[in-house]
């Protein structure tokens, strides 16, 4: 049984709503905003949440759910666009704001209410909207306001209908998780029953049911995500799973050897393919990041299809399993609703339209820390689970512009210095992800009384909980100075090192 259904109106944060509820033990699923009410009610949910979204409710092409939903007598919570849709539906006024509001605001409580139980007055909340509620429908009351939003939290006087102008699902809303928990547990009457053990059992059963007697080719990179998928598939259907690692020539220093050792530890047979020449030939002279990602995605599929043909003596391989996570999906394509595409991930938007495989993506709606928790549940070793994320396109998207052997060598050596320094200083586990980016920007320097005209390298380290938002890691200056000195002295071709202090948003974690 589903406890809460989230209707997706295209917000980048929709899955965070489900995630926060899962953290509270509440089983939640996401559906497109246009799903018929009859279909939703057939799933016996205890509550409905309307997500935020990029549209305006007063526009002709505004996204609208089935109006019957508002009369279903189910608790319903509208967030941002969802609240504006609620107001518009019941006769209130929503207009374009004179000034867009993005960032932190303070919640001033006006009325006590179960939705805001345990929330402190002037608690910090996160705003992200260009429209505002001008006036409430007559049946609604204001529960809270902020300096720029007079109707920051609202409730219907007699029906279980509620709205929030801010985003309680993001970590910047200090007590947002408490508000969502209040809605699910106190208002909807849900009881905590969902955890990673339940998810593991559920996904293994799903894989067994879907795959049957067919075979799986599981693509692994050695990272947490694909390793967890390999473990799930192997637990579900055993030797029907062929685990394949492709060296595309864009790996970090010593990466291939680490991956081989890792799967030996897991006792999972591993096929290793060296396709570095193929990938690098196709990427020669290519500068545009989206083109890089699509070339890499297409080439991976070609290599996997060729390997599958070689393995067909054991029966045709029908499925391609890969470690796609929700942040990959939401940035690449619209999944449940009309979300905006940020960039193509090689394993989502970078895949060819036609391929011989059926995709199997059991982690598609999870975040990195949830995957780590799942991996621990499956028995994966801690040193594997704590590895920083490494993108499938590898160093191709950490070299701005065209890729060549010299650039790859520079990034590999610099990255190894940076990561080892983090380990030595016991800082590695305190950051979400750390890496180097070769900017291909040259500048004048002085080394040994001689003029140099060499490249600039950026260090990037961020703190995050789920990858949907991130803040640059405040690494000590003396540490950064030491790393910069080591790189300049040991890596030929670099004479300047900078540190990226951009958060997400407005930037992304990777540069390309």
Residues tagged active-site:
80, 167, 169
Q: Is 39 exposed, middle or buried (0-12, 13-18, 19+ CB in 10 A)?
A: exposed
Q: Are 292 and 406 in contact (CB under 8 A)?
A: no
pLDDT tens for the chain, 512 residues long, are: 689 999 999 888 888 898 899 889 998 988 999 999 999 999 999 999 999 998 999 998 899 999 999 999 999 999 999 999 999 999 999 988 876 777 888 999 999 999 999 999 989 998 887 888 999 999 999 999 988 888 999 999 999 999 999 999 988 889 999 999 999 999 999 999 888 888 899 899 999 999 999 999 999 987 889 999 999 999 999 999 999 999 999 999 999 998 999 899 889 999 999 999 999 999 999 999 999 999 998 999 899 999 989 998 877 899 999 988 876 665 444 445 554 444 444 444 445 566 778 999 999 878 888 899 999 999 888 888 888 988 889 999 999 999 999 999 999 999 999 999 999 999 999 999 999 999 999 988 877 667 788 999 999 999 987 777 889 999 999 999 999 999 999 999 999 999 999 999 888 899 98
Q: Pairing relation of β-strands 494-499 and 450-463? A: parallel
Tell me which of 3.40.50.880, 3.90.226.10, 3.30.465.10, 3.40.50.1000 is the CATH number of domain 4-187. Answer: 3.40.50.880
**All structural domains of the chain with their residue ranges:** 4-187, 196-386, 405-499
**Domains 4-187 and 196-386 fall in the same CATH topology:** yes
pTM of the model: 0.72
CATH architecture for residues 405-499: 2-Layer Sandwich (3.30)
Rounded to an integer, what is the distance from CA 480 to the centroid of its chain? 28
Q: Where are the alpha helices (DSSP H) in 254-365?
A: 255-266, 276-283, 289-310, 326-332
Binding site, annotated residues for ATP:
221-227
What Cα–Cα distance (Å) separates residue 482 from each residue in 24, 49, 415, 421, 488?
Answer: 42, 49, 14, 9, 10
The full DSSP string for 376-444 is: HHHT--HHHHTPPP--TTGGGGSBSS---HHHHHHHHHHHHHHHHHHHHTT-GGGSSEEEEEEEEEEEE
Question: Which H or E run contains 480?
Answer: helix 477-490
For the chain, what is the total number of helices (H) and then of strands (E)? 14, 18
d(CA 204, CA 44): 24
Residue 435 phi/psi, 5-degree rounding, is: -170, 175
* Alpha-carbon span 333 to 241, nearest angstrom: 28
Annotation: CATH topology of 196-386: Rossmann fold (3.40.50)
Task: Give binding residues as ranges.
Answer: 221-227
């Amino acid at each position: 049984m589903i406890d809460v259904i989230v209707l997706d109106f295209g917000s980048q944060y929709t899955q965070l709503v489900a995630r926060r509820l899962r953290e509270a033990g509440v089983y939640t699923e996401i559906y497109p905003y246009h799903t018929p009410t009859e279909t939703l009610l057939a799933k016996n949910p205890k509550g409905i949440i309307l997500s935020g979204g990029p549209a305006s409710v007063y526009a002709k092409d505004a996204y609208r759910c089935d109006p019957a939903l508002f009369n279903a007598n189910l608790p319903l919570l509208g967030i941002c666009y969802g609240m504006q849709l609620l107001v518009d539906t019941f006769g209130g006024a929503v207009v374009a704001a004179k000034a867009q509001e993005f960032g932190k605001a303070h919640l001033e409580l006006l009325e006590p209410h179960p939705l805001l139980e345990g929330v402190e007055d002037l608690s910090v909340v996160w705003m992200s909207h260009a429209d505002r509620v001008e006036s409430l429908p007559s049946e609604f009351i204001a529960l809270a306001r902020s300096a720029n939003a007079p109707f920051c939290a609202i409730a219907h006087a007699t029906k279980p209908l509620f709205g929030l102008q801010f985003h309680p699902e993001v970590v910047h809303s200090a007590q947002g998780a408490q508000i969502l928990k209040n809605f699910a547990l106190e208002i909807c009457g849900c009881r905590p029953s969902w955890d990673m053990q339940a998810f593991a059992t559920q996904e293994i059963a799903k894989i067994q049911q879907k795959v049957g007697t067919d075979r799986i080719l599981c693509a692994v990179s050695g990272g947490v995500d694909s390793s967890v998928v390999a473990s799930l598939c192997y637990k579900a259907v055993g030797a029907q799973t062929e685990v394949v690692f492709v060296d595309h020539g864009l790996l970090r220093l010593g990466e291939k050897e680490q991956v081989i050792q890792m799967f030996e530890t897991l006792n999972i047979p591993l096929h290793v393919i060296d396709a570095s020449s193929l990938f690098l030939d196709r990427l020669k002279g290519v500068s545009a990041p989206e083109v890089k990602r699509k070339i890499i995605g297409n080439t991976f599929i070609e290599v996997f299809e060729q390997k599958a043909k070689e393995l067909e003596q054991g029966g045709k391989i029908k499925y391609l399993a890969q470690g796609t996570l929700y942040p990959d999906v939401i940035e690449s394509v619209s999944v449940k609703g009309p979300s905006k595409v940020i960039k193509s991930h090689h394993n989502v938007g970078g895949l060819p339209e036609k391929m011989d495989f059926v995709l199997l993506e059991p982690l598609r709606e999870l975040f990195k820390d949830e995957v780590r928790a799942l991996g621990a549940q499956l028995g994966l070793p801690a040193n594997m689970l704590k590895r920083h994320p490494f993108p499938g396109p590898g160093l191709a998207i950490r070299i701005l512009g065209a890729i060549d052997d010299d650039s790859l060598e520079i990034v590999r050596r610099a990255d190894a210095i940076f990561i080892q320094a983090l380990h030595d200083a016991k800082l590695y586990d305190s950051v979400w992800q750390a890496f180097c980016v070769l900017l291909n920007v040259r500048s004048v320097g002085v080394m040994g009384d001689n003029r140099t005209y060499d490249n600039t390298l950026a260090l990037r380290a961020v703190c995050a909980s789920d990858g949907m938002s991130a803040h640059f890691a405040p690494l000590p200056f003396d540490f950064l100075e030491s790393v910069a000195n080591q790189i300049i002295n040991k890596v030929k071709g670099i004479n300047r090192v900078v540190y990226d202090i951009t958060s997400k948003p407005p930037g992304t974690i990777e540069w390309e």
